[in-house]
Amino acid sequence: MCTYTFKLDDKLVERVRPAFRDDYAINEWLQSQLETFVRQFAEKLAPKKNKSNPLNDKISELGNLKENWDGYGAVKIPAIVISNCKAFVSALTKYKLKINAHDFSPTPYGTIVVDVNTKKGVISFEIGTSQLGYFTEFEGGSNRHSDGINTDFKEVPQEVKNVLNV
């Protein structure tokens, strides 16, 4: 809370005096005007809040799971996995893949699985602390899998691009 002291110009006081009962009321009014101005100015300078992203909201929700969330000793999902998942999903959406919030699942090992529907079928990605695994369930066979690709999750690895045919 800030306190302001005003030294009122005599001409200003004479112009606004008829609307107020005394100099104290004028001072209070000016203070409220200044506080409103400062608040509005600060709001304009504040960083814009991102619109809610249902995919990031779902990923964050998985990050809120506690140890033993499944009742069988499941591991809490580490913050790095949450960050990796958000980055990878962002990279995937650049390829116009449709991903829904219900396509995310936690694993008891502290990873997140994302099932992505493509024209050929489903690709299941498992996102961990430093590696990305996947397997495909394509119609007509020719399925592929990888137990672990080292990646920074910011870009879709070339092996995955090959599977997606992008």
Residue-wise pLDDT for 74-127, tens only, equals 999 999 999 999 999 999 988 888 899 999 999 999 999 999 988 888 999 999
> Phi/psi class of residue 149: alpha, beta or left (left: φ > 0; alpha: ψ in -120 to 50)?
beta
Closest C-alpha to 81, from 9, 151, 8? 151
Per-residue confidence at 16, pLDDT binned at 50, 70, 90?
low
Position with higher pLDDT, 138 vs 112? 112
Strand order in the sheet with 112-117: 104-106, 112-117, 121-127, 131-138, 145-150
What percent of the chain has a predicted confidence (pLDDT) above 70?
85
Q: Within 10 Å of residue 163's Cβ, how many Cβ atoms?
A: 22
Distances from the Cα of 124 to the Cα of 51, 73, 96, 104, angstroms: 27, 23, 17, 10
Closest C-alpha to 105, from 58, 64, 66, 54? 58
The rounded mean pLDDT for the chain is 85
- Which secondary-structure segment (H or E) carries 133? strand 131-138
SS3 content of the chain, % helix, strand, coil (to 5): 40, 20, 40
Position with higher pLDDT, 162 vs 12? 162
- pLDDT the model gives residue 115: 94
- pLDDT the model gives residue 94: 84
Closest C-alpha to 59, from 86, 35, 78, 32? 86
Most confident stretch, 36-40, 62-66, 117-121? 62-66
- pLDDT the model gives residue 23: 73
- Region 15-36 average pLDDT: 73
Separation CA 88–CA 127 (nearest Å): 8
